[in-house]
Amino acid sequence: MTDIRDLRNAPAMPGELTDETPAGSTIGDLAKAPGPTKVPAARYTSPEFAALELERLWPHVWQVACTIDHVRDPGDWYEYTCGPLSVLLVRGQDSKLRAFQNVCRHRGNELCAGSGTGMTEIRCNYHRWCWDLSGRLREVPSRKGFGALRNDDYPLFEAQVGTWGPLVFVNLDLDAEPLEEFLSPVIDDAAFLRPDELACRAIVTVPLPCNWKTGIDAFSETYHVQGIHRQMLCSTDDVNSPQADWPRHGKLGQPYGIPSPRLRDGATDDEIWASFVATQGARAGAPDPDNPGPVPERHDGESMRTLLARLIREKSASEGVDLGAFTDEQVTDLHQYNCFPNISPVFLAESLSCIRTRPGTTPDDCYLDIISCPRLPAGATDRGPRPIDVTLDAETADLGAVFNQDIANLRRAQRGLHQLGLTHLTLSREERRIISLHRNLERYLGIQDGFPE
Ligand code: FES
Ligand SMILES: [Fe+2]
């Protein structure tokens, strides 16, 4: 096996993304950097690097496991997997949500697979050891054969669990900081989006032939809009969208209803409308992306942006969802967060789509999950039907034009990373949320000055 250090001998040291932004620099320092940031390509392809992530990142970092709608009631359970790691989430009879490593303390059999309801005990199918839903051992068949074996000495291995809005997070490291601290300042920044009013309806999973970072990187910059989503250019400013650079997480605000400054001649209102309908028309009650029709009649003084805000409000109101708490800008625009390491919660006023990538069995495969959470009708006390979780094939999945374009490109993005001449990715300040992912990854992996501690 290649020594991990061999992967990053100069000039390919992961601890030195670029001469201009040495290890330990902040993302804010990028503004002063005269050149691009270089990231070693091996981070995306090397089994040794993936092994380092498995040892030092995934067992210690907060991850979205599922949503509260998957584990609403006592006896509800859900298995979350991340590479070989498996975590069991269970709502106890005391209504408390707990997380456990999904392993039997007898000989290590996996306890549960999938998800379900009505669980009253956690029983291993192999030799039938059994725990209660709080993780306490309560039954061992033929106990005498073990000699002295006390139930209190064999609880399930507990993990930390926390929630933000509808999202349930787990952390296998009992010494890790609380979730609220880890997510700072995202929770406060996103409070205006009222995440507690969102309920999950589905998780769509697409296995993809790319590294988990290749996958989430595609949702961490808008530089590629002019590459693979050109149909968006007439209805969004992909260049000047404001980004936030926090030490661990990031944010993008993407305005809709205005053309990209890349279009020298701008766009007519008809072109803005057609572009909006082609990419997200269902939001405004225009569900056929191929038939935008004319721009809907405008009220006095309405701009394209305020027109879109009104149409989105009307569409949501027709479904009982009141967007009165939001300004027109907040209704029309996209509010995207990038939370280290592997999720991008994408908020619209009427919904949350949390994009997540999880490692697969090799550095060249991952799972892309889209966790869909529409906003509940005003005053709803019932969170609605349970989520439906489906796995779709990348070749045949139809997730809308923009997602389809992202997914179709990811195979190419990963294959290219293997080519011998490409020692480094070359990143722009526009891609600072990707740089931030690498800076934080280095901290978890112990990469300082180019070497793990
Ligand atoms: S491995 Fe679970 S009871 Fe034996
Ligand atoms: Fe994209």
Quick: pLDDT tens for 49-97.
999 999 999 999 999 999 999 999 999 999 999 999 999 999 999 999 9
Report if residue 186 sits inside a domain: no
Same-domain pairing of 37 and 101: no
* Helices and strands (H, E) in the chain, number of each type: 10, 22
Contact between residue 2 and residue 50 where contact means Cβ atoms under 8 Å apart: no
Does residue 212 share a domain with residue 152? no
Q: 131 and 158, same structural domain? A: yes
Q: Domain range spanning residue 17?
A: 4-45+423-452
Q: Are residues 159 and 23 in the same domain?
A: no
Residues 312 and 432 in one domain: no
Nearest in space to 340 (alpha carbons), one of 266, 259, 441, 264 = 441
Q: Are residues 165 and 255 in the same domain?
A: no
pLDDT of residue 73: 98
| 365 and 446 inside one domain | no
Strands (E), 292-340: 334-338
212 lies in the same domain as 68: no
Is residue 27 over pLDDT 70? no
For residue 217, is pLDDT > 90?
yes
Q: Do 29 and 68 reside in the same domain of the chain?
A: no
Cβ of residue 109 lying under 6 Å from some atom of ligand 1: yes
State residue 161's pLDDT score. Answer: 98
Q: Which ligand is nearest to the CA of 254?
A: 2
For the cut 50, the answer to whether the pLDDT of residue 6 exceeds it is no
Residue 239 and residue 347 share a domain: yes
The response to whether residue 107 sits with its C-beta less than 6 Å from ligand 1 reads: yes
Residue 438 lies in a domain: yes
Using one digit for the tens of pLDDT, what is the confidence trace for 147-160? 999 999 999 999 99
Mean pLDDT of 20-39: 61
CA angle 304, 191, 351 (to 5 degrees): 50
Residues 433 and 356 grouped into a single domain: no
Distance CA 394, CA 103 (A): 31
366 domain residue, yes or no: yes
Specify the pLDDT at position 34: 75
- CATH number of the domain where residue 355 is located: 3.90.380
Pairing verdict, β 130-131 and 122-123: antiparallel
Q: How far is the CA of 123 from the centre of ligand 1 (A)?
A: 9
More confident residue, 168 or 26: 168
In terms of domains, do 121 and 35 share one? no
DSSP helix/strand/coil, 41: helix
298-331 pLDDT per residue, tens: 999 999 999 999 999 999 999 999 999 999 999 9
Residue nearest to atom 3 of ligand 1 (CA): 127
Q: How many structural domains does the chain have? A: 3
pLDDT at residue 26 above 70? no
Q: Which band of pLDDT confidence, cut at 50, 70 and 90, is reported for residue 20?
A: very low
Which residues keep their CB under 5 angstroms from ion ligand 2? 406
Confidence grade of residue 292 (pLDDT, cut at 50, 70, 90):
very high
Q: Which DSSP helix (H) or strand (E) runs through 271?
A: helix 269-280
| Predicted TM-score of the model (pTM) | 0.92
Return the structure tokens found at 134: 């709080």
Compute the distance between CA of residue 363 and CA of residue 352 in angstroms, rounded to an integer: 28
> Which run of H or of E encompasses 189?
helix 186-189
